[in-house]
Amino acid sequence: MRILQIRSAGIRRISLLWIAALLTVTVDAPHADVVEFDRLYGRLLAEYWHPSVEIHGISTTVFDYARMKQDAKYPDSLFNRTLQAIKGVDSARLQEANETKAFWINAYNFAAMRLVIDHYPVDSIRSLSISLIRYPWSRKAIRIGNKDYSLKQIEKDILIEQFNDPRIVFAVSCAAVSCPDRTAQPFTGQRLDAQLDAMIRTFLENPGKGLRLDRDRRVLTLGWILEKDRQLFQNRPGGVMGFVLPYLERDVREWLEVNPVEIKYFEHDWTLNDLAQAD
């Protein structure tokens, strides 16, 4: 009888371990494809990202697109392995909100990079080589799973529609000098909020494209993004100013809170954020 009890206990233990292992695989499996894409995309950013240079007098981080294009000629290059990895992502299995948001932001930015590399050398993502009507956002730019997506679909139909987070428009890159600076790291679900806030704060600290305050003339010049996507801010407390103020240094914020200003917007420089374009 004791032998039977020992055997039964052993069988139960094995069964529980098997069930636990099965549950672990079930939980982790949906993320394995995303993890691989994030890993390769992170390496791609680190490899070709370059610290700030000046283009047309505007300080901006850039990429070495010329070297990336040269490397992309090889089937086993980092660029092509990243391209294959995102094709293997089953986005429908993403569940957690920040993880899903981070993936689609990374997907958008990689897709924009892919449009540039496929047609490089170009001096802008709006180049006629990419789109004859200078509107590349409607072109199918990336395959994810078994579906092709345009930049517009990813930004408007997925990210904005699903999350309604105005910070998204700062995070998706138009690959231009006037866009918020790109970083050498991909967005991640665990750090997403801190990454988005840091990106916006850095952008608004840039007097060449993010924010410039002329206290004598009482003129506040803001980034073009805040005008282009103003509908995202209009129905929020304080509108555009209500969004901007929490990201500013205390001195600037307090001055703006008590001094009325005329709001203007920077002209958008569509020049590619390319190391080759540096002044």
Give the ranges where 49-74 is alpha helix by DSSP (H).
Answer: 65-71
**Number of independent structural domains in the chain:** 1
CA distance 168 to 160: 7
The count of residues in the chain is 279
The b-or-e profile of 96-133 (16+ CB within 10 A means b, else e) is eebbbbbbbbbbbbbbbbbbbbebbebebbbbebbbee
CB-based contact 175:272 (threshold 8 Å)? yes
Note whether residue 59 is domain-resident: yes
**Within the chain, which residues score under 70 in pLDDT?**
1-30
Give the ranges where the chain is alpha helix by DSSP (H).
Answer: 2-48, 65-71, 78-87, 97-119, 151-152, 161-163, 168-171, 192-204, 224-228, 231-234, 239-244, 250-258
Residue 194 identity: A
Note whether residue 279 is domain-resident: no
Note whether residue 171 is domain-resident: yes
CB-based contact 209:58 (threshold 8 Å)? yes
Distances, alpha carbon 55 to alpha carbons 51, 60, 278, in Å: 12, 7, 5
Note whether residue 85 is domain-resident: yes
In the Cβ-directed half-sphere of 182, how many Cα atoms lie within 13 Å? 32
Note whether residue 173 is domain-resident: yes
3-state secondary structure of 153: helix
Q: Which pLDDT tens digit goes with each residue over 224-267?
A: 999 999 999 988 899 999 999 999 999 999 999 999 999 999 99
Question: Which neighbouring-strand residues pair with 55?
Answer: 58
CB-based contact 114:142 (threshold 8 Å)? yes
- Domain membership of residue 104 as a residue range: 2-274
Per-residue model confidence (pLDDT) at position 31? 77
Per-residue model confidence (pLDDT) at position 227? 96
Note whether residue 64 is domain-resident: yes
- Maximum Cα–Cα distance for the chain, whole Å? 94
Residue owning tokens 């990419």:
130
CA distance 113 to 141: 9
Per-residue model confidence (pLDDT) at position 25? 40
Please provide residue 113's backbone torsions phi and psi, each rounded to the nearest 5 degrees. -65, -40
Tokens matching residue 245: 């103020």
Give 230's contacts (C-beta < 8 A, 6+ positions apart): 240
User: What pTM was estimated for this model as a whole?
Assistant: 0.89
CB-based contact 279:54 (threshold 8 Å)? yes
Per-residue model confidence (pLDDT) at position 59? 98
Per-residue model confidence (pLDDT) at position 17? 47
Per-residue model confidence (pLDDT) at position 13? 54
Closest CA to 242 of 227, 255, 253: 253
Per-residue model confidence (pLDDT) at position 14? 46
